[in-house]
Structure 1
Amino acid sequence: MMEYIIDSSFHEVRLDRFLRKKYENTPLTEIFKGIRTGKIKVNGKKSKENYRLKEGDIVKVLISGGETEEKKFIKISSKDLNTLKSGIVYEDKRVVIFNKEAGMVMHKGSGYDYGLSELFKSFYQTDEFNFVNRIDKSTSGLVIGAKSLVVTRELAEEVREGKTDKKYYILVDGVIDKDRFTLKSYLRKEETRVVELSSYEEGAKESISYFKVLKRGKNRTILEATLETGRTHQLRVQLASLGHPIVGDGRYGRGGKNMFLFSYYCEIPKYNIKIELPLPEEYTKNLI
C-alpha cells in the first residue's frame, strides 16, 4: 500500500489526474477500477475520480503496478547553461521569463532529445517546471515558465481567460499602406500546415489579430502585432494569406536563415509583471 499526503503542488487537482501522474505505467482502467472499488481512498473514504484534492488530504492506494519511476534530469552542458542564464530576462520565486532565440525548440521530440523545458527542469531540479505559453522553433522572444504546478495552473487560467498580454515585432514582405488594421478569420489545422478560411467550417477556430505599422521600407514593412486569440501559426498564416508573408518563414513564405517574428512584450497583471524588449537591430537592417 502507498500513502500520499497532498501538498500545495496538487491542491485542487482532480484525483484521477493525480493518480495518472503517480502511476503513468498503470492502465487508466485499472486506476478507475481502484477508485470505484475502494482500493483507492481519500481520507479513509471512497471518492469520485473528479474529486479535487485539498492540501493535507491523505490518499491511500492499493492497486497492482508500481509508482512511476522518478525522472532523471538531463545533464546541462556549459554551453546550454550559458544560454539559459543569458536568456533569463526576469525571475522570481514563481516564474521565469526567458528570451528564446530562433532555432531553439521548446520541448523534446521531432528529432530533438531535449528542449528548453527539459533544460529548465534540470536547471531548477524539479519536474514541476512548465512553460505556460509556447512559440514556434523559428520564432524568437519571450516565453513564460512556471516553477511549480500551482503556478502553472494559475497562469494557464490567466492565459485561457485572456488576462495576459503578448505583443510581437514582425518584418513582412511588401509595403502595407494602412497604419492600423485587424485580421479576423478562421484557422484549421491540417496535416503539416494551418489553413485560413473566410467562414467557419468544422474544426476551424476563430482567430483575431491587431496590427500597427511601425516602419516602412521600399519593399518591406515592420509591424507590431497583438493577439486576441492564440492559435497555432496564427500570425504567420494570416499575414501570408494577406499577401505579406513574414520574412524568413519557410513554411508560409519564401524561407530564409531566420524568421523575423519576435515576441517582445509580455504582461501578467496578476503578478504585476511587465517585460518589454526593444526592436532588434536586424529588423531595421533588413528593412529594404
Structure 2
Amino acid sequence: MALANNIIMNTNLTRLEKQLTSIYHTWTITNFRYQDCHIKTFLQEKLPHIDGETWERRMQLGGLYINGIRIKSNDKIVLPARIEYFEPKFSIENPHEFFPCFKNEYVVYEDEDIIVFFKPAKLPSVCSRDQIYFSAKQMLEDYTKQILHLPSRLDNSAQGVMVVSKSKRMHHSLQRAFENKQVEKTYRVLVGGAVTWAEKKVENHIDRSLLHPVLRQVVTKGGKKSCTHFRVLRKKQHNTLLQATPITGRTHQIRVHCAHLQIPIVGDYFYDGLPFSELCLLSYQLKFYHEFQEKWLTVTVPQNLLPPWAIL
C-alpha cells in the first residue's frame, strides 16, 4: 500500500484493535423516525447484544456522546445527530478490577507544589473518551483532595514517572517548563533484535496515520518535527535495551521512531512489536528546575518499581 508523502510502517490492525479497551460504534442520524426518540431505545435497537438493563450504568460510566457532548441520562435525540458509543471490553459491574489500583509506593516524590507519581501500565493519564472514573489524575485527586494539573502525559500502556502540579503557582511554572523543553525526560525501551550502533539521533516529522486514528507515522511532508536520542544500555542476541531521550514530545514519538528504525518496541501491538505481556516502554527519569525550591530535581523510578526487563 503506497500513500503519497507517507512512510507506511507494518501494523496489524487486528492486533491493535485487541489492545483497545473499548469497541467504537458510531451512527449519523438524519431519519426523522428517530426525532425525539430516547437514546436508550435507539441503542437497544442498534446494539441488541447489550443487556437493556445495563444502559443506565453504562451512561454513568461514560463513553456515550451525541454531537460530541457526553450523555449521562436517557435524553431524546434531536436531529441531525451523530451518536458515538465506546463499548467497554471490561466488566461494567466491576471496572475497578480491570484498572490498576492506587498504592502509596507510587508517590515517588511530593511537596506542597508537586507530586512525582509512578503511573502503572494500563492506567490512562487522564480519563479517556470511553470512561470517566479511572486515570492517574483522578487517582491522585482522590489522594490529595485537590484539583491537579498534568503538564504532560504518558501513553496508557506505558509506565513510569510523571510529574503533576498541586498548587496554582506551580501549574504555570511546570507547564512553561514543558513547553520550553526545560524538562529532561529519560526512558528505557526494550526493542526486538540487536542494533549495530551505540548511539543514534532520529529526526523526522510525525503525523496522524491514515491506517487508524490511534496511530501516528513518519511523513516526508507536513506533520510536526520530532527528535529522539537513543543510546544502547544492554545488548543481547534477540533484544536490546535502549535509553531514549525525546527532545520533542509528539504522540507515540518513541514508539514511532523505534518502528521507523525497524526495531519496534517489545510488546507494542500498535506498531508490530514482538509479543509480550506489556509494552516495554518506561519513563525512567525526570529532571527539571523547581522554581519555588530554587533547585534542580532529578527523580528516578525506584528499584522496587522497575519492571524486570528494564533492570541493568
> Into which bin does the TM-score normalised by the smaller protein fall?
0.5 to 0.7
Distance of 1:185 and 1:238 partners within structure 2: 9
AA aligned to 1:124 is T
Between the two proteins, what is the percent identity of the paired residues?
A: 25
Q: Structure 1 runs of 4+ off > 6 angstroms?
A: none
1:195 correspondence with 2:217: yes
**TM-score normalised to the size of structure 2?**
0.61
Aligned match for 2:104, one of 71, 82, 85: 85
Aligned match for 1:273, one of 271, 285, 297: 297
Q: Is the 8 A contact 2:100 2:120 kept in 1?
A: no
Distance of 1:242 and 1:253 partners within structure 2: 12
Q: What is aligned with 1:245?
A: 264
Q: Is the 8 A contact 1:264 1:278 kept in 2?
A: no
Q: Is the 8 A contact 2:189 2:310 kept in 1?
A: no
AA aligned to 1:119 is M
Please, what is the CA RMSD of the aligned residues?
Answer: 2.2
Q: 1:284 to 1:140 in 2, by over 3 A?
A: closer
Distance of 2:129 and 2:143 partners within structure 1: 23
More displaced 10-residue stretch of structure 1: 266-275 or 233-242:
266-275
Q: Is the 8 A contact 2:285 2:299 kept in 1?
A: yes
Query: What is the SS of the residue equivalent to 1:235?
Result: helix
Once the two structures are superposed, the pairs formed by residues 1-288 of structure 1 within 5 Å of their partners are 83-114=102-133, 115-127=135-147, 129-190=148-209, 191-197=213-219, 199-201=220-222, 204-254=223-273, 255-271=275-291, 272-277=296-301, 280=306, 282-283=308-309
Query: What is the SS of the residue equivalent to 1:158?
Result: helix
Q: Is the 8 A contact 1:185 1:206 kept in 2?
A: yes
- Segments of structure 1 that go 5 or more residues without pairing to the other structure are 1-76
AA aligned to 1:150 is R
**TM-score normalised to the size of structure 1?**
0.66
Q: 1:281 to 1:118 in 2, by over 3 A?
A: closer
- Segments of structure 2 that go 5 or more residues without pairing to the other structure are 1-95
Q: CA deviation at 1:122?
A: 2.3
Distance of 1:217 and 1:282 partners within structure 2: 15
Q: Is the 8 A contact 2:187 2:282 kept in 1?
A: yes
AA aligned to 2:214 is T
Query: What is the SS of the residue equivalent to 2:170?
Result: helix
Q: How many residues align?
A: 204
Q: CA deviation at 1:95?
A: 0.2
Q: Provide Cα deviations, 1:36-79, integer angstroms capped at 9, x if missing partner.
A: xxxxxxxxxxxxxxxxxxxxxxxxxxxxxxxxxxxxxxxxx9xx
Structure whose alpha-carbon radius of gyration is higher:
1
Distance of 2:250 and 2:128 partners within structure 1: 21
Q: Provide Cα deviations, 1:110-141, integer angstroms capped at 9, x if missing partner.
A: 333321111222222222x1112100010010
Distance of 2:139 and 2:238 partners within structure 1: 40
Q: Which has the higher contact order (CA 8 A, sep 6+)?
A: 2
Q: 1:245 to 1:273 in 2, by over 3 A?
A: same
